[in-house]
Structure 1
Amino acid sequence: ASRLARAFLAVLVPSMACWRVVVLAVVASAYKMARRPVHAMTARDAAADAAGTLLVSARELRGAVSQALRKRLPERNDAEVLSTAEKLVADVEYQVCQGASVDAFADALALHHAMETCEDASLAGLLTESLRILTDAYRLFGLDGVFTSFNGGKDAVVIMQLSRAVFAKACVQAGRIERARMIFFELQDEFEEVEDFVRDSHKTCDLELRRYSTGFVAGLTSCIEEEEGRLLAFVLGTRRGDPNCGKQGTFEPSSDWMPPFMRVNPVLDWEYGDIWRFIRLFQIPYVNLYDKGYTSLGKKSDTQPNPALKKPGTADEYLPADMLSDWSLERAGRIKKAPKPIIEPEQCDAT
């Protein structure tokens, strides 16, 4: 019996030691994973990224979305934040395309939720309609078939944020993380502040930004040619009060003398005050010229601070743009140009 016991122990003890090593290895691995930064690259990620595809787990994306929700909606408690993140992110792996920022994508997704659940009486209806229009645009033209015109002005800021939010929602439903596509038409006489703001937004919002210095029509033509002539949609910041913009609808085909594309106007029914209410409510960054009395931006040569915002008794001090009480004076700081024979809606300054 004693010999049998010794034989049993001779087998059991090494086995227990082996299992102990295995258990310790598993615990150590789990500990390392817990301490690993949320988006650190694993060997699997490195291999996928080398092939142009980086994979992010639902847990990782939910973590990033939770952080973004806490910033966007600080009044929500942790349980509400985690529950919302669970609903926004399906339990699948997500393909990250061309090194897109997971954190910027998560912020866009959190912004979409904040807009979708907005309780501000004056904005809720406008937001619902704008989100619907952009959702339809991405559904009809695809994730890579929609470009948003981003010239750095206040209206462009709003449509950029709306577009990146709806784009993120559409991407997460497709199991992908990508950059929203933007287009910027450079002016020869551009404000340096606008250039700086566009460059900063490109980085912080992780946008795919195409720049054209050839003018609006030539730039659009080049963009369409680069996309092999496919039918594209361009999101514009046109509002009904803008001069020379006619009777456009939310979806408006281009003029027959231009390359074929679809105009998408998600803020068509917004007014000047709605633009600023949105910017303030969602704490959206904007170019600092608006804090110096500018209310509508064009070229430096034809734009000055709005005289309606000049502080009484001062030589050159102005109130910020959102303090303009008479919205019909939005363009009072613009130097009038001689009328052109033909003015297309696309050429209107929506800033």
Structure 2
Amino acid sequence: MRFTSVFFCLFSAMAPLGLIQLDRANGMDVVDVCEKNEDCQTMKITKNKLEEDAYNMDNYLNSTQSGQLAAKIKEAISAINGILDEYGIEKTAIAFNGGKDSTLLLHLLRICVTKKFGADTKISAFFIKCDDEFIELVHFVQKMASMYNLDLVELSGPMKHGLALYKEKQSHIVATMMGTRSTDPIGKYMKSNIQWTDGGWPKFLRVCPLFDWSYGEVWKGIRDLSISYCSLYDAGFSSLGECTKTTKNPALLIKGTENSYKPAYTLNDGKLERSNREQSDPKL
């Protein structure tokens, strides 16, 4: 069983100015201050969802469904909470590029922030875009920014340039949450899941709570927790990079077809995760 939530926003025909709430203690109806403000109403639904996500996570970790992944999630949450305790939400941001790893990390970070500071608290985030980004990925990032209550800054790449721009705009940010894993091109340069950027780079503390996770574990977490992910992963892409340098993974091609592919989460060999991409080797 997956933990999902359905939210209903009830509108009253007797309240044309906005949502009506019943103040049972005083026996009177109170017109909500949102008064037909769709953004405000959307925020209420978002807040409810974020609170439900936190509740569902507790249920998941206490269920048999989580299995061995529970320990990995608890370890990741502990790393996130440690950073939030040391630097606070004000000095913490997430590098969110819409990929599967950063999507799972965003979900875990949002749960930690909701529990510590409330669902109304925004999370600082940045998205460093390459010149030929998948349009589906860009739309997904923007959708998730709304769903997860992010203060998102979009920046032009490459990575080093984008980080310099972000440091200039948000000089108070110290710790950056990243979905980097040890098997990533960047990850192979890191000695631990928490360390400062290398000399010559904008100074940030890189925090990688999923550092020791495998490809399969990331997908189990996403699917078990019913986390939204970019639609490209259902179209044969197992890893996402620049549009002109990324193709569908041959290992996901359905036998007997020319252009039908299985979803990324069905890839059994995690070593083939990036076999659909021209490899870049950035050092961060």
2:81: which partner in 1? 135
Give the whole-Å Cα distance in 1 for the aligned partners of 2:34 and 2:237. 49
Structure 1 residue 108 and structure 2 residue 105: aligned? no
Give the whole-Å Cα distance in 2 for the aligned partners of 1:114 and 1:282. 8
Structure 1 residue 200 and structure 2 residue 143: aligned? yes
Structure 1 residue 219 and structure 2 residue 182: aligned? no
String of CA shifts for 1:37-89, please: whole Å, max 9, x gaps: xxx2289xxxxxxxxxxxxxxxxxxxxxxxxxxxxxxxxxxxxxxxxxxxxxx
Give the whole-Å Cα distance in 2 for the aligned partners of 1:318 and 1:42. 45
State the Cα distance separating 1:240 from its structure 2 match.
Answer: 1.2
Pick from 28, 33, 37 the counterpart of residue 41 of structure 1.
33
String of CA shifts for 1:299-329, please: whole Å, max 9, x gaps: 1111111101111111111111111111111
Change (3 A) 1:103 1:243: same
Q: CA RMSD in A?
A: 2.5
1:144: which partner in 2? 90
1:101 alignment partner, SS class? helix
* Equivalent pair of 1:151/1:198 in contact (CA under 8 Å): yes
Pick from 227, 236, 239 the counterpart of residue 293 of structure 1.
236
* Equivalent pair of 2:120/2:149 in contact (CA under 8 Å): no
Instruction: Name the stretch that deviates more: 279-288 or 237-246.
Output: 237-246
2:143 alignment partner, SS class? helix
Change (3 A) 1:122 1:28: closer
Q: Which runs of 5+ in 1 are unaligned?
A: 1-25, 44-97, 347-351
By percentage of residues, which structure has more helix? 1
1:32 alignment partner, SS class? strand
TM-score, with length taken from structure 1: 0.66
2:15: which partner in 1? none
2:184: which partner in 1? 242
Give the whole-Å Cα distance in 2 for the aligned partners of 1:250 and 1:112. 24
Give the whole-Å Cα distance in 1 for the aligned partners of 2:24 and 2:193. 57
1:298 alignment partner, SS class? coil
Q: Which runs of 5+ in 2 are unaligned?
A: 1-22
* Equivalent pair of 1:231/1:260 in contact (CA under 8 Å): no
Change (3 A) 1:289 1:214: closer
Give the whole-Å Cα distance in 2 for the aligned partners of 1:28 and 1:263. 49
Amino acid corresponding to residue 285 of structure 1 in structure 2: S
Structure 1 residue 32 and structure 2 residue 20: aligned? no
* Equivalent pair of 1:250/1:265 in contact (CA under 8 Å): yes
- The number of aligned residues is 253
1:157: which partner in 2? 103
Give the whole-Å Cα distance in 1 for the aligned partners of 2:29 and 2:279. 64
* Equivalent pair of 1:143/1:170 in contact (CA under 8 Å): no
**Identity across the alignment (%):** 28
Amino acid corresponding to residue 195 of structure 2 in structure 1: E
Larger RCO (alpha carbons 8 Å, 6+ apart) = 2
